[in-house]
């Protein structure tokens, strides 16, 4: 699952980073996993989503 998640992350948030032939093949061989990770990751880029108020150190 970990490798699938990396491919899904790249396809969902960094289109064009993988060669086109690789993107096509990944979409063809794991459409259900891509749908699963799309649901898990959501539409927003999780790395840059605010999850709470900023805290001081």
Least-confidence region, from 1-5, 17-21, 42-46: 42-46
- The answer as to whether 56 is a domain residue is no
Place of tokens 């032939």: 21
The residue among 48, 37, 28 whose CA lies nearest residue 4 is 37
What is the domain count for the chain?
1
Residue 17 lies in a domain: yes
Which residues touch 16 (CB under 8 Å, ≥6 apart)?
none
Length of the chain equals 57
In the chain, pLDDT over 70 holds for what percent of residues?
84
In the structure, what pLDDT confidence band is assigned to residue 45 with cuts at 50, 70 and 90? low
Query: Which of 2, 23, 22, 20 has the alpha carbon at shortest distance from 12?
Result: 23
Please check whether residue 10 lies inside any domain of the structure.
yes
Side-chain-side CA neighbours of 38 within 13 Å: the count stands at: 9
Residue 28: which domain range?
2-46
């Amino acid at each position: 699952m970990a490798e699938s998640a990396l491919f899904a992350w790249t396809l969902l948030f960094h289109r064009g980073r993988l060669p086109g032939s690789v993107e096509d093949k990944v979409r063809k061989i794991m459409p259900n996993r891509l749908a699963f990770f799309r649901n898990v990751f959501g539409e927003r880029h999780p790395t840059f989503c605010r999850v709470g108020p900023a805290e001081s150190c």
